Structure 1
């Protein structure tokens, strides 16, 4: 079994374990050749098997040639196990009663390293080097249980085996170590590795990439102990920049030092328990508490307090990964907060948060909350806990809302409103009759249920906020039950807008990924008895008098762009209501519907009239795969066009003018361009 690159520090064991024998074998310089075969050498640190020692020292020569070989070296407490090690070096006296040997050591197909040995009467020094990397081992006869290890630019990967003793899943990929460690192996006492280390450019990951680090720097004091199947570790020091990933939690550490302290223990095959963890990132974040992991490194239990005097850097440093997974990568936050978090069996058990003048802002202008204050308490237990959360104002998809206070209650894993809450918005109010929230647990994601009512909202204010044409009206409605499950928001009930002296109602409303990537909206819209003159004046379409009914069924918007619907609009005769259409409106309809005029007069005379009477107007569009299938009142009855034509405007009176469409399949982007051209007045009539 060839020696892996990560195991090179253990090479010094081969020399250390055989040093006493070297003194005996090399003493009689008259001996020309000395060979020894040792089946097994056992020390407090390692076991060597099938050891071969060969010494060739010519008579009266100033030096001899030493060769040490071992078929297998096993250091279980340090995690090293490898074989076929071969070291050759010239053996010299140092003139002080000691010995020196310096040569290349090889193992399997790995690159050779230089291994140097200085054996004095009261000390032993071993150096392992390759390039700028150097590992030195020092032992004193007066303290035989202690071994001092000095590290200079040692590749982090050399410590893989030792690291695996504490963290089996971790894979050390890059980085260097500097520092000094003391390895103590007293009889009947724990193995101890203690000292200070400086880490630079470190990179590591687990096989499933759930935990990873890149370019990590640190200054750490380490105390690791192991006795039988129990491991103890204490780490105290500073982190100096880099990137860390724990599941979806991504940490971008600043170059300014972050104080870190960890005390941990592991017994047998159980996971690690960290009874004391402390993290100090200046005014940005101070965290203290305990953590407990399962054997596969999954977080099982936690009890933590977190404090921030300045939340501004928190998102970039600690929350960007989690927020990105929820589609909120552009959120910024400011203010201060105190949070206590308790997890049990991998699930949130308690949250107690105090917010101090916190502002949340979405960079994509989906929402904003100003001056969040108060407390927010969540409990999975049977006992109920109350809290109160307030804000000064905010915005949702461009719609401003006012000051509100939310009286909250929690128990049995649910957060709910204690009473109705009205929030000022659009000159009216948005009233929440109930609200219940369950945070993610296990395979189940976030769930919400609520009921709300819209009361006397000003449609004109809404139109201005959404950059719609200016029109007036009120928006009211009730949604007695809405639910958010599996990233899908479904509304029961409907909304009604009193606009243009009629009503527009919305039903079957639902949203997918409302705050995520490519949000999707589905709805059915019904239009009842709108004043066409008011509609056409607001949308600058020309002038049409009459009353309009219609529907937009199976509407589907993806990222706020229409991808499917089945729409139909038609006029409804009403006693006492004139039905007239201006020439500009006629040519706009003909442009949108890809239609032509059919008149009772010569086309050149039609331009002499400002408006015309009509009996009916009707147009439809069914959008599928970016193609709009057009329709009208009925099939036209004029010549060869009858097979494909459809009437949009049915004329009445003199002059009698009708508008007939001939292209039933219209490209949707083209139709959108035509609608835009109508708004600019860039359309020309077509006469037949």
Structure 2
């Protein structure tokens, strides 16, 4: 069916050339080439058999090769056979026609001095053609339920990749082929149930309907195509952009032009989905249909509807498939040669809410303006929000766009957890020259309420204030790295976080990695917060190679130990309470050094100790336990001092990580049982 629809004009010329021989019993001709404005036939053989006194003859036509290069059609071994009749000055011939091994269609031709008419059809679809002698350059084609697959070769002239897999078209096309001028194709079309896809799966459509007006010009030097009308429903995919039009009617217009084999220029792009999205602009495409340049403006009066109709594909790739949006926005963008040259985003009453609790912003408004050629000031503001469970307050973000980047115009302080997060500097560089988006910033944390932080992160109920300094942070390639680390003053000591990085911070299964060092942490304050029995002293240690996936620890090597020198400098005695001994023994699956210790623990409130240390190397959900050193088959956790002397020894070096977490939770709640041997 696909291979015959543009050949009718060529066949008619051959039939007319042989019709004058109808009085003879038989006639045949071999023609090296037949050329028309639409196509060229090579290796043509025509035979007419007309028995004497018969009212009709049999016309047979064969062509070794048929080419319509402007329309992209090439056929081999074309055959048509039909009974030829004459009614006055009019000739009629109808029969099966096929090319190669293709399925035959029915071809009927009528011609006289005034006009030529033809009909190519099967049981469901039909193409009717008419040409009048008064206007020989015009061929009118009428389409009725014609499969879109018949237009595959014509589409390939503009874009070779898509495969038309479903849909039908009705309408009228005027094919205008003036002598020595470009071929033109014009007319209204109605498309139903269109479906297409590309081999790489990046472009696809399903169930699309449209009513359009086509204007196309095909020439040796240039091709011009214009389409305007309305799309009715369906689904479309362009890379990560997924459009769900449902039953909405969307007005659109597209103009495309190409000189020779050069790039496609799209001088007009128009898309109007009322109340959801209006886009106007222009673009340039490369030979692979990739975007080379884009200048476009968009109005988005309802972000909720925009999210459902246009953004779900992008959000799904970013791990934000359930993101909720509200408010309105408008944007303008100019992109060329792999770089962003101009960007202007305006927001009005925007609300962003991630149901998974990763972030939330309320009443986001203002604008973001960027230009590679001039300096532009803008400002964003919001009333509040939340980041991974951490509430933050209202703030204004003054911005300056210049020299190819967007910078923070002044320091910004954001209320956070009863304190402030101060954004000291920020620099955002848009994608350019094959390099992705890059963000750099510095952040100070001032007197954050640790109790509120702990509650948000579901930690034990810590108390106190957190102050930290991040001199430099960098986000690129979906990875956030903190250069210089994070210094936190906590429990009278210091916590130094280094090698801190996050992958997919706002995507699926965010991953955090870091090294943490503890110095002179006051044990009495720490154990009080953890709900353990009291331990006095100073704690040092480190957690190396910490790795969290979706905020759950999957690997680390932790070593914690007391610092006797620091305790002496601070005048702190090293004592451990009876409750703390019980908690340690329960958590570490430990026991006491002998039956005397088991009896003594019930007689004293606390004990002196010389050293305390414990380690855990987590891998594959198993914690390899360690302590201060070996004690026979076990390892020392608490080395006693003074009288009564009490030491705690651990014997199980491999502990299931979930079990260890349960023990820690039980120890914090006071629901523990000491182990005696």
- The TM-score, its normalising length taken from structure 1, stands at 0.92
Counterpart in the other structure of 1:509 = 500
Q: Residue 639 of structure 2: SS of its match in structure 1?
A: strand
Q: How many equivalent pairs are there?
A: 673
Aligned with 1:674 (options 660, 663, 669): 663
CA pair 136-571 structure 1, distance change in 2 beyond 3 A: same
Q: Answer whether contact 1:599 1:658 (CA < 8 A) is retained.
A: no
Deviation for aligned residue 1:77: 1.7
Q: Residue 646 of structure 1: SS of its match in structure 2?
A: strand
Aligned with 2:408 (options 410, 417, 427): 417
Are positions 1:445 and 2:440 aligned together?
A: no
The 10-residue stretch of structure 1 (137-146 or 204-213) with the greater mean CA deviation from structure 2: 204-213
The 10-residue stretch of structure 1 (556-565 or 545-554) with the greater mean CA deviation from structure 2: 545-554
Counterpart in the other structure of 1:8 = 4
Q: How many angstroms apart in 2 are the aligned matches of 1:356 and 1:234?
A: 35
Deviation for aligned residue 1:71: 0.8
Deviation for aligned residue 1:519: 2.0
Deviation for aligned residue 1:346: 3.2
Q: How many angstroms apart in 2 are the aligned matches of 1:36 and 1:454?
A: 94
Q: How many angstroms apart in 1 are the aligned matches of 2:532 and 2:348?
A: 51
Gaps of 5+ in 1: 637-641
Q: How many angstroms apart in 1 are the aligned matches of 2:630 and 2:337?
A: 68
Q: How many angstroms apart in 1 are the aligned matches of 2:474 and 2:600?
A: 60
Task: Give CA deviations for 1:272-302 in whole Å, capped at 9, x if unaligned.
Answer: 1121211101111111111112232222222
Are positions 1:124 and 2:129 aligned together?
A: no
Q: How many angstroms apart in 2 are the aligned matches of 1:209 and 1:451?
A: 41
Task: Give CA deviations for 1:130-164 in whole Å, capped at 9, x if unaligned.
Answer: 33122222222332221121222222111111112
Counterpart in the other structure of 2:90 = 98
Q: How many angstroms apart in 1 are the aligned matches of 2:578 and 2:469?
A: 41
Q: Answer whether contact 2:195 2:206 (CA < 8 A) is retained.
A: yes
Task: Give CA deviations for 1:313-349 in whole Å, capped at 9, x if unaligned.
Answer: 2233223333333444333322112211111223211
Gaps of 5+ in 2: none
Are positions 1:261 and 2:261 aligned together?
A: no
Deviation for aligned residue 1:673: 4.0
Q: Answer whether contact 2:165 2:195 (CA < 8 A) is retained.
A: yes
Counterpart in the other structure of 2:651 = 662
The 10-residue stretch of structure 1 (441-450 or 273-282) with the greater mean CA deviation from structure 2: 441-450
Task: Give CA deviations for 1:529-556 in whole Å, capped at 9, x if unaligned.
Answer: 4443443343333444444333212222
* 1:212-227 matched pairs, under 5 angstroms: 212-227=204-219
Q: How many angstroms apart in 1 are the aligned matches of 2:523 and 2:470?
A: 29
Counterpart in the other structure of 2:674 = 685
Deviation for aligned residue 1:598: 2.4
Are positions 1:60 and 2:53 aligned together?
A: yes
Q: Answer whether contact 1:469 1:539 (CA < 8 A) is retained.
A: yes
Are positions 1:367 and 2:372 aligned together?
A: no
Deviation for aligned residue 1:614: 3.7
Once superposed, what is the RMSD of the aligned Cα atoms?
2.4
The 10-residue stretch of structure 1 (154-163 or 598-607) with the greater mean CA deviation from structure 2: 598-607
Q: Answer whether contact 1:68 1:87 (CA < 8 A) is retained.
A: yes
Are positions 1:317 and 2:312 aligned together?
A: no
The 10-residue stretch of structure 1 (594-603 or 563-572) with the greater mean CA deviation from structure 2: 594-603
Aligned with 1:618 (options 592, 602, 613): 613
* 1:374-523 matched pairs, under 5 angstroms: 374-381=366-373, 383-523=374-514
CA pair 102-588 structure 1, distance change in 2 beyond 3 A: farther
Counterpart in the other structure of 2:298 = 306
* 1:484-563 matched pairs, under 5 angstroms: 484-563=475-554
Counterpart in the other structure of 1:17 = 13
CA pair 202-682 structure 1, distance change in 2 beyond 3 A: farther
Q: Answer whether contact 2:468 2:489 (CA < 8 A) is retained.
A: no
* 1:154-173 matched pairs, under 5 angstroms: 154-173=146-165
Q: How many angstroms apart in 2 are the aligned matches of 1:483 and 1:306?
A: 30
Counterpart in the other structure of 1:238 = 230
- The TM-score, its normalising length taken from structure 2, stands at 0.93
Task: Give CA deviations for 1:174-205 in whole Å, capped at 9, x if unaligned.
Answer: 32222211111122332111111122222223
Q: Residue 103 of structure 2: SS of its match in structure 1?
A: coil
Runs of 4+ more than 6 Å apart? none
Deviation for aligned residue 1:268: 0.7
The 10-residue stretch of structure 1 (168-177 or 454-463) with the greater mean CA deviation from structure 2: 168-177
Are positions 1:648 and 2:637 aligned together?
A: yes
Aligned with 2:596 (options 595, 598, 601): 601
Q: Answer whether contact 1:599 1:655 (CA < 8 A) is retained.
A: no
CA pair 536-184 structure 1, distance change in 2 beyond 3 A: same
CA pair 16-542 structure 1, distance change in 2 beyond 3 A: farther
Q: Answer whether contact 2:351 2:364 (CA < 8 A) is retained.
A: yes
Are positions 1:142 and 2:134 aligned together?
A: yes
Deviation for aligned residue 1:264: 2.0
Counterpart in the other structure of 1:639 = none
Deviation for aligned residue 1:413: 1.4
